[in-house]
């Protein structure tokens, strides 16, 4: 290899290295930075549905719930377990504070539960009044880690 061609190769390698460093820097500043800022700016004006005439119990679908994909490490429904009493607060309202669509779907049966097509929209809610004592396990059909439970007492 002649001296001039090895110099040319050296220049090309230097340009590639600088380009790689520049794109990593771009990724961290622009891509990661925009993710961070969009995360902090997702404070929405989501409001819980009014509850009349009964007293309701509320479950929040937390911001970031779409990341709850691990069934052995559940998250997303807050509180994950809620205990209500018939005639007192047996109307449960789920409010979606996340940017993604979620569902409240019974683990067994289909006697209750939110729409699954598409589900509870961001800022939306789902209300159900339980009329029988029991334990009602539910999940989100889109995110395997979103598991919840309503315990209804008489």
Residues contributing to the site for Cu ion (CB under 5 A): 102, 140, 142-143, 146
Q: Of 51, 75, 42, whose CA–CA distance to 125 is shortest?
A: 51
Taking the complex as a whole, the smallest distance from the CB of residue 40 to Cu ion amounts, in Å, to: 22
- Is the Cβ of residue 90 or residue 125 nearer to Cu ion in the bound state? 125
Q: Show the tokens assigned to 57.
A: 């119990």
Question: Phi and psi for 149 in degrees, rounded to 5?
Answer: -150, 130
Q: For residues 90 and 119, which CB has a smaller minimum distance to Cu ion in the complex? A: 119
Closest distance between Cu ion and the C-beta of residue 115, in Å? 13
Q: Which residue is nearest to Cu ion (CB)?
A: 140
State the number of CA atoms in the 13 A half-sphere of 55 facing the CB: 6
What is the smallest separation between the CB atom of 93 and Cu ion, expressed in angstroms? 17
Q: How far is CA 92 from CA 8, 13, 56, 86, 87, in A?
A: 71, 63, 6, 11, 12
Pick the closer one to Cu ion by CB: 90 or 143.
143
User: What span, in angstroms and rounded, lies between the C-alpha atoms of 15 and 7?
Assistant: 12
Count the alpha carbons within 13 Å of 150 in the hemisphere toward its beta carbon.
31
Q: Kindly state the smallest distance separating residue 146's Cβ from Cu ion, in Å.
A: 5
Smallest distance, Å, CB 79 to Cu ion? Answer: 16
C-beta closer to Cu ion: residue 91 or 103:
103
Q: Which is nearer to Cu ion, 68 or 90 (CB)?
A: 68
């Amino acid at each position: 290899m002649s001296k001039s061609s090895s110099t040319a190769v050296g220049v090309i390698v230097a340009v590639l290295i600088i380009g790689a460093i520049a794109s990593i820097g771009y990724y961290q500043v622009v891509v990661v930075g925009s993710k961070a800022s969009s995360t902090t700016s997702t404070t929405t004006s989501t409001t819980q549905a009014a509850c009349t005439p009964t007293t309701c119990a509320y479950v929040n679908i937390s911001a970031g719930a779409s990341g709850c994909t691990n069934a052995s490490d559940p998250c997303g429904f807050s509180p994950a377990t809620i205990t209500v009493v018939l005639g007192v607060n047996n109307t449960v309202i789920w409010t979606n504070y996340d940017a993604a669509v979620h569902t409240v779907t019974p683990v067994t049966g289909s006697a209750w539960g939110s729409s699954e097509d598409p589900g509870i929209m961001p800022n939306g809610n789902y209300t159900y009044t339980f009329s029988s004592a029991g334990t009602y396990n539910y999940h989100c059909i889109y995110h395997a880690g979103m598991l919840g439970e309503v315990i209804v007492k008489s």
